[in-house]
């Protein structure tokens, strides 16, 4: 019997231990929440970050779209030039407003974001805007725009001859812009009289000195 503490003595010992913990003001299992000031500080920091990051992210996305659209036109013009040399015939690339039609046609306009077609002109003449369609590019899915500024106003269709050259009046500059316009996201595609194609970023100049 002497080896075991009496039940009432054990209870009194445990009670004193509990009392000492409570009396110290320490609650081991309880955590402190955030104050209103701390929450507001975090929200302000997040807001500042979003003001800085979102415009940059939007510019990044816009530049990606512009770059893809610029590359699409570049590859289609390269295709037209290659076909002209391979076939020994003139190949026309022109803007179109009805690329989804069974027989799409050229449009007399300077804007190309509605789509364009590559065709073998019926009379092998650069002024022909009808013939066998070789390739169709559908309208942009974005709100971006592309405008062609030829050496001679009104010559909105490009024509590559069997040497891969374009008429002097056709040489010019395509300008790709976002909507609303962001100068930093702008891209250009220059076409020289020898058929050379040059992709430019905003502020760069082509071989003729024309600035994007």
Kindly tell me the sign of the dihedral angle through the C-alpha atoms of 74, 69, 159, 169.
Answer: negative
- What was the pLDDT predicted at 31? 58
Query: Could you give the strand order of the β-sheet that contains 91-95, starting from the edge strand earlier in sequence?
Result: 131-137, 116-121, 91-95, 158-160
- What was the pLDDT predicted at 129? 84
- What was the pLDDT predicted at 212? 94
Kindly state the DSSP code that residue 185 receives in the 8-state scheme: G
- What was the pLDDT predicted at 5? 47
- For residue 155, the Cα-to-chain-centroid distance in whole angstroms is 28
* C-alpha to C-alpha distances, 173 to 1, 86, 129, 162, 183, nearest whole angstrom: 107, 25, 21, 22, 16
Q: 187: which strand partners?
A: 176, 201
Is there a contact between 129 and 109 (Cβ–Cβ < 8 Å)? no
- What was the pLDDT predicted at 8? 55
Query: Could you give the strand order of the β-sheet that contains 197-201, starting from the edge strand earlier in sequence?
Result: 145-150, 172-177, 187-191, 197-201
- Give per-10-residue mean pLDDT for the chain (212 aa): 50 49 51 69 67 53 73 96 96 95 93 96 88 95 93 90 92 93 91 94 91 94
- What was the pLDDT predicted at 180? 87
- What was the pLDDT predicted at 11? 46
Distance CA 147, CA 35 (A): 56
């Amino acid at each position: 019997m002497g080896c075991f503490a009496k039940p009432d003595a054990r209870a009194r010992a445990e009670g004193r231990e509990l009392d000492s913990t409570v009396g110290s003001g320490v609650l081991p299992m309880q955590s402190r929440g955030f104050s209103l000031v701390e929450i507001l500080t975090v929200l302000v920091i997040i807001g500042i970050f979003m003001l800085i990051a979102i415009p940059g992210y939007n510019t990044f996305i816009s530049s990606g779209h512009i770059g893809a659209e610029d590359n699409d036109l570049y590859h289609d013009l390269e295709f037209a030039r290659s076909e002209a040399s391979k076939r020994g015939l003139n190949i026309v690339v022109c803007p179109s407003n009805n690329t989804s039609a069974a027989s799409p046609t050229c449009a007399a306009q300077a804007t190309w974001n509605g789509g364009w077609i590559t065709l073998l002109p019926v009379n092998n003449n650069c002024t022909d805007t009808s013939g066998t369609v070789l390739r169709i590019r559908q309208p942009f899915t974005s709100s971006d725009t592309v405008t062609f500024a030829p050496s001679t106003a009104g010559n909105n269709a490009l024509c590559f001859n069997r040497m891969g050259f374009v008429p002097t009046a056709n040489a010019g500059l395509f300008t790709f812009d976002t909507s609303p316009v962001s100068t930093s996201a702008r891209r250009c595609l220059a076409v020289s009289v020898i058929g050379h194609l040059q992709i430019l970023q905003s502020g760069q100049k082509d071989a003729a000195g024309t600035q994007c």
